[in-house]
């Protein structure tokens, strides 16, 4: 009996349509905390991408001379959540009109960027951006870049699940918590454990 349950569980895992998305939209602690709440998201990992330094460290990226952005890599089940829904969350949870900045976080590492994994993601991202540009949703022009993912580097372990582990840390309390509460109100229909 137990063997049958394990086999069925493994079959369910293998039939999930697992895909990846990589976004940069400011501090990766904030973005990671938001996407971890989304039903269909299997895992979110903080990392670096878009630069010219191999295996960058947080200290190097923070100095702004690697050209890497702080990003999150989202592992998701596309049978439960679409890439378009992940894009919607991306656009609605940061300011895509501020160049190299999100709130008090300033530098190229905080730029707004979508790193596409395949042609479909590229086309969907470009189409969404054009639609937003035409809509006039923002009074300033959108500065988000859409780039091919060339390399991704996982951030140091102490950055992973940062908000979950450090909820009372000052940055988490004053910056991330309000974003999480706003996100839960706007996207309540797609939250895990509704």
Exposure pattern of 55-68 as b/e (b: 16+ CB <10 Å)?
Answer: ebebebbeeeebeb
User: Across-strand partners of 41?
Assistant: 76
The contacts of residue 26 (CB under 8 Å, 6+ apart) are 70, 94, 102, 103, 105, 110, 112
Q: Which of 21, 27, 86, 176 is an active site residue? A: 27
Identify which of 24, 27, 42, 32 has the alpha carbon closest to the alpha carbon of residue 165.
32
The contacts of residue 169 (CB under 8 Å, 6+ apart) are none
Rounded Cα distance, 101 and 3, in Å? 52
Helix (H, G, I), strand (E, B) or coil at 71: strand
Q: Is there a catalytic annotation at residue 27?
A: yes
Please provide the distance, in angstroms rounded to a whole number, between the alpha carbons at the two ends of the chain.
Answer: 32
Residues annotated as catalytic are 27
């Amino acid at each position: 009996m137990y063997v049958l349950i394990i086999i069925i569980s493994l079959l369910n895992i293998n039939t999930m349509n697992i895909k990846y998305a990589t976004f940069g939209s400011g501090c990766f602690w904030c973005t990671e905390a938001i996407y971890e709440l989304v039903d269909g998201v299997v895992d979110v990992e903080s990392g670096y991408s878009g630069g010219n330094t191999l295996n960058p460290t947080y200290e190097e990226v923070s100095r702004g001379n690697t050209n890497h952005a702080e990003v999150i890599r989202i592992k998701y089940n596309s049978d439960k959540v679409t890439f378009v829904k992940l894009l919607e969350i991306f656009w609605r949870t940061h300011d895509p009109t501020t160049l190299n900045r999100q709130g008090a976080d300033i530098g190229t590492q905080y730029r707004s960027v979508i790193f596409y994994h395949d042609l479909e993601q590229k086309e969907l991202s470009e189409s969404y951006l054009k639609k937003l540009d035409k809509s006039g949703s923002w009074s300033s022009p959108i500065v988000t870049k859409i780039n091919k993912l060339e390399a991704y580097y996982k951030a140091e372990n102490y950055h992973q699940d940062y908000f979950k582990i450090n909820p009372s840390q000052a940055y988490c309390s004053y910056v991330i918590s309000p974003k999480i509460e706003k996100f839960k109100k706007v996207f309540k229909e797609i939250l895990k454990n509704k």
